[in-house]
Structure 1
Amino acid sequence: MSGEARSFTVGDDDDGIRLDRWFHRHMADASFNIVSRWARTGQLRVDGKRVAPGDHIAAGQVIRVPPLEAPAPAAARPKKDRPPLSPEDEAFVQGLVLHRDRAAIVIDKPPGLATQGGTKTERHLDGLLDGLQFEAEGRPKLVHRLDKDTSGVLLLARSSGAAAYFSKAFSSRTARKLYWALVTGVPSIADGMIELPLAKQPGTGGEKMHVDEKEGSPARTRYRVVERAGNTAAWVELQPHTGRTHQLRVHMAAIGHPIVGDGKYGGQDAFLTGGVSRKMHLHARRLRVDHPGGGVLEVAAEPPAHFDESLTLLGFDRTLGDSMPFDQPKFSETPEGKKKAISAAAKARRKDRKGERRSRGSR
């Protein structure tokens, strides 16, 4: 394909990943060698600056991608076919489907299944997507992610057009997600907002996040205590207003109430005694997003067995859940709102300076 350079805005789900990984996710036709050549010749830019394939990118940044020229027929490499899924894998992934229409498939991702492959991760959802093609021309596309040990609602797009539509909904934060979690202890405020900036923790290779008041990216999480088990644990609903890596896990640990089973951020304080499972108790319960065909798509997923068993063991009443409404994103939280706010501030500064010059001239 040839033509003019294109611009792409980095979405929240790609916050912090390497640039070459972004191309692997969103422009598989651009090989690592092509991306390296673009970077070496200065054609590839992020926010107008030269970059290297190994540089990390952040949500909201703009990637300038030069035209991708079609390879000469002689140079074209044969496409590497993926091995067909076994009947067991096909039945497994189709059994996860909660909703299906012409534009979208929504699945209930089980805990322990990674969304995408990586080091020492051979079995993952991305490798099972051929089993969800059904009558469509191609396999569905991932538009957001869940951590490996987080369960629940995950949206897939069934066409490139739908993928672009849904990706914009997530990056502009008009898509809303609501999670259930069990946490140790009980927050003193029953319905609150956590506003703590997050950044990659030095020395962890980008695998762990931490609160960083100086260099961190803004992160906001609303939470509501559904019910408490004495002072031992609480069942909470969580609604992220931003989409930072591990945001819910870091925020709850930062206020002293780590998610049950999250030893990475809560250490030993993240585990309960009395037979409560040591698995992660974080579940993407509900998703609400505008549908490209019109209307709103809203889907809910039941918690996995270990989570459900813990609710029963701790004496929680399942009928008390799902009472937290979806918050509407503030205009200032969206990328468009931020750009207009920055533009308005710059205009005000120019106006102030102009007034200063006139005042000096009248003296």
Structure 2
Amino acid sequence: GQIRVNSGRVHPSYRLKLDDLIRVPPVSQRSPAERKFEKEDTDWLVERIIYEDSRILVLDKPSGVAVHGGSGISLGCIEALRYLRPTLPSLELIHRLDRGTSGCLLVAKRRSALRRIHQLLREGQVRKNYLALVEGAWQGSETDVDFNLTANRRKKGETFVRVDSEGKPAHSRFCVIERYQSGATLMEVSTTTGRTHQIRVHAAHMGHTVAGDERYGNQEFNLIMKNKGLHRLFLHALSISFVWPQTEEEFFVSASLPDELGQVLDGVSASR
């Protein structure tokens, strides 16, 4: 709200004209050395790095940790990594995961790697697989969900995503792994688009909300799952795969299902 045009505020629909004077407030960014982090703030990262080479590294992100700071969060994964690796000035997130989602998070160590994988993402050449526990008995064994999505920001800064024919294209493929007598289905979900809250909104639109989803979910179902030991969003980024441009090198990385989610599955009875 501090941007000014010709020393005054303008409506968001205002079109800039030749010779307009624009004032953009300076962005204050602390260097890693200036941030008041403690060593224990980043110790957890060491054992969470599940892959690393000269181009990228992959974190097995825990649920509840943001990928970056902001909105009252001073320390996210990328800030902690930069603090832990001060000799790598080009560390950048390649993509994002919701705060409640665990699993594979790609981080670029070089700008060239960032550009190359971003190009693959734009072309739909990066395959991301997730595990999700959803409400109800999903019909059929495999379902392609293609609904465009639009993201809106609410007054409190929260993002709410909805299905919108005028929105951005989004594709998710839901494959049934197991159905449970407790009224839930374990799904493997693959995506080649990475829209905000994509899997959660697609699942909800299909009538099968993700367990533990406080934004798009079913409160009654969430309570049932909570009584079975679920205290987070049941969505885990299981694996990522792509082919490196130029070298044609195949890349694949996976992160095991966290123990707390495995225990939830142990607590439900499978049905055939």
TM-score normalised over the length of structure 2: 0.80
| Kept in 1: contact 2:125–2:192 (CA 8 A) | no
The residue number in structure 1 matching 2:257 is 303
Counterpart mapping for 1:256-271 below 5 A: 256-271=207-222
In 2, the alpha carbon distance for the partners of 1:195 and 1:201 equals 19
Alignment match of 2:197 (pick from 228, 246, 267) = 246
CA gap of 1:270–1:249, structure 2 versus 1, over 3 A, is farther
Q: Which amino acid aligns with 1:281?
A: F
Q: Comparing both structures, which one devotes a greater share of its residues to helix?
A: 1
Counterpart mapping for 1:154-193 below 5 A: 154-193=105-144
Counterpart mapping for 1:9-88 below 5 A: 80=31, 81-83=33-35, 85-88=37-40
CA gap of 1:42–1:165, structure 2 versus 1, over 3 A, is farther
CA gap of 1:42–1:270, structure 2 versus 1, over 3 A, is farther
Deviation at 1:290?
2.2
Q: Could you say what secondary structure the match of 2:215 adopts?
A: helix
Alignment match of 2:234 (pick from 281, 288, 294) = 281
In 2, the alpha carbon distance for the partners of 1:242 and 1:130 equals 27
Deviation at 1:122?
1.8
CA RMSD of the aligned region, Å? 3.0
Alignment match of 2:53 (pick from 80, 101, 106) = 101
Alignment match of 1:207 (pick from 124, 136, 159) = 159
CA gap of 1:121–1:203, structure 2 versus 1, over 3 A, is closer
Q: Which amino acid aligns with 2:250?
A: V
Deviation at 1:165?
1.2
Greater relative contact order (Cα 8 A, min sep 6): structure 1 or 2? 2
Deviation at 1:85?
4.8
Deviation at 1:269?
4.2
CA gap of 1:131–1:100, structure 2 versus 1, over 3 A, is farther
Which consecutive unaligned segments of at least 5 residues does structure 1 have? 1-19, 21-38, 44-51, 54-76, 318-363
| Kept in 2: contact 1:201–1:209 (CA 8 A) | yes
Alignment match of 1:125 (pick from 66, 77, 100) = 77
| Kept in 2: contact 1:146–1:154 (CA 8 A) | yes
In 1, the alpha carbon distance for the partners of 2:138 and 2:65 equals 30
| Kept in 2: contact 1:186–1:231 (CA 8 A) | no
| Kept in 2: contact 1:288–1:296 (CA 8 A) | yes
| Kept in 1: contact 2:94–2:117 (CA 8 A) | yes
Task: Say which one has the larger Rg.
Answer: 1
Deviation at 1:203?
5.6
Deviation at 1:289?
1.9
Alignment match of 1:220 (pick from 171, 178, 198) = 171
Structure 1 stretches of 4+ moved >6 Å: none
2:103 counterpart of 1:116: no
| Kept in 1: contact 2:121–2:193 (CA 8 A) | no
Q: Comparing both structures, which one devotes a greater share of its residues to strand?
A: 2
Q: Which amino acid aligns with 1:149?
A: G
The residue number in structure 2 matching 1:313 is 267
| Kept in 1: contact 2:228–2:268 (CA 8 A) | no
Deviation at 1:78?
11
Q: Could you say what secondary structure the match of 1:208 adopts?
A: strand
Q: Which amino acid aligns with 1:276?
A: G
In 2, the alpha carbon distance for the partners of 1:78 and 1:182 equals 39
Q: Could you say what secondary structure the match of 2:216 adopts?
A: helix
Number of residues of Structure 1 aligned to a counterpart in Structure 2: 248
In 2, the alpha carbon distance for the partners of 1:250 and 1:261 equals 13
Q: Which amino acid aligns with 1:190?
A: S
Which consecutive unaligned segments of at least 5 residues does structure 2 have? 4-14
Deviation at 1:84?
7.0
Q: Which amino acid aligns with 2:70?
A: G
265-274 vs 148-157, which deviates more? Answer: 265-274
TM-score normalised over the length of structure 1: 0.61
Q: Could you say what secondary structure the match of 1:194 adopts?
A: strand
